[in-house]
Homo-oligomer: A and B are copies of this chain.
Amino acid sequence: MPEQPNAIPYITSYYEERWGFCLTHEQFENLEEGEYEVFIDSEHFDGELNYGELLIEGESKQEIFLSTYICHPSMANNELSGPTVVTFIAKWLLEKGKPKHSYRIIFIPETIGSTTYLSLNYSEMKKNVFAGFNVTCIGDDRAYSYVPSRAGDTISDEVALHVLKWTDPNFIKYTWFDRGSDERQYCSPGIDLPIASIIRTKYGKYPEYHTSLDDLKTVVTPSGLNGGYWALRSAIEGLERNKKYLISVLGEPQMGKRGLYPTLSTKKSGEGVRLMMNFISLCNGRTSLLKIAELLGVAIWDLYELCDKLEEHNLLSINE
């Protein structure tokens, strides 16, 4: 690639027998004139397709599905960042105590792996998977991005859009026609799983993509991985806490006698009271916490402490 003379491109030829070598343009330019003899010590044989699978049982059989791929791990953002972030998400899920939802986490080769996994599991998945994410390109610090599910309005899309908006108001919103990873299988007609993508910089949208320059120095960074991890984790936490609350009294509750009004009135406490009373006014048992956060114009995580406090005072019940 003359325009990237020190990059080794990543080229595949899946369905036709060919051969070739990938090298940098610099190496290519420095090859001496002459005839080369090529010895390729390789063979085609019937092997088997392996994948990693982790099922975490939660209180409910309803599953959140996480898929990431492991076919060309020599490149960092696409693709090693995906397995890395998902590994730490799995670690957090296993350590945090039994989650509300169950989790189905797979490490597969792209396309052929998702097709294979679906062929073995799709009827069970269609029954149980209510949300999920395809995890890729989640380690750089240049942008936050979103690719919708085919339906575009699933709970995965809703929580991804909410989290990304409150993580980075300038996040990039791609369309279904910009897709390019395993959501092509997960969302295909008849499969129709609710799988969206939370991404840092999307595959195909950065110059180092599919070259040896997609590395752990200039592309993937600690803060890039950390941001990707927290965006995905915030989406999962949002789904874990996305309940439908019903206020347990008719009319506004008397907050003073419950000690829920601040004793000292400041500008900040005034805002807190207003948020609390607005929140309570929306707890009708039919509106999800995500929708309430959208209506109130706040991040869902800004409501968690308030929910806990009101639950403690027996002011909220949960409509499942």
CB of A15 within 8 Å of the partner chain? yes
Given A15-B257, A177-B278, A278-B177, A251 and B284 contact (CB-CB distance below 8 Å)? no
Docked-complex contact B177 and A252, CB < 8 angstroms: no
CB of A188 within 8 Å of the partner chain? yes
* Total residues of chain A contacting the partner, CB 8 A: 35
CB of A191 within 8 Å of the partner chain? yes
Point out the residues of chain B lying under 8 angstroms from A120, CB to CB.
none
Stoichiometry (number of copies): 3
Given A184-B281, A284-B190, A250 and B15 contact (CB-CB distance below 8 Å)? no
Point out the residues of chain B lying under 8 angstroms from A247, CB to CB.
188-190
CB of A285 within 8 Å of the partner chain? yes
CB of A230 within 8 Å of the partner chain? no
User: CB-defined interface of A185-216 with B at 8 Å, one 1/0 digit per residue?
Assistant: 10111111000000000000000000000000
CB of A246 within 8 Å of the partner chain? yes
CB of A118 within 8 Å of the partner chain? yes
CB of A130 within 8 Å of the partner chain? no
Docked-complex contact B192 and A284, CB < 8 angstroms: yes
Q: Which of B118, B257, B281 contacts A187 (CB 8 A)?
A: B281
CB of A171 within 8 Å of the partner chain? no
Q: Which residue of B lies closest to A190 (CB)?
A: B250
Complex: how many Å from CA A111 to CA B111? Answer: 62
User: CB-defined interface of A77-118 with B at 8 Å, one 1/0 digit per residue?
Assistant: 000000000000000000000000000000000010011001
Point out the residues of chain B lying under 8 angstroms from A250, CB to CB.
118-119, 122, 188, 190-191
Given A118-B251, A251-B188, A281 and B15 contact (CB-CB distance below 8 Å)? no
Shortest distance from the beta carbon of A13 to any chain B beta carbon, whole Å? 11
Point out the residues of chain B lying under 8 angstroms from A274, CB to CB.
177
CB of A283 within 8 Å of the partner chain? yes
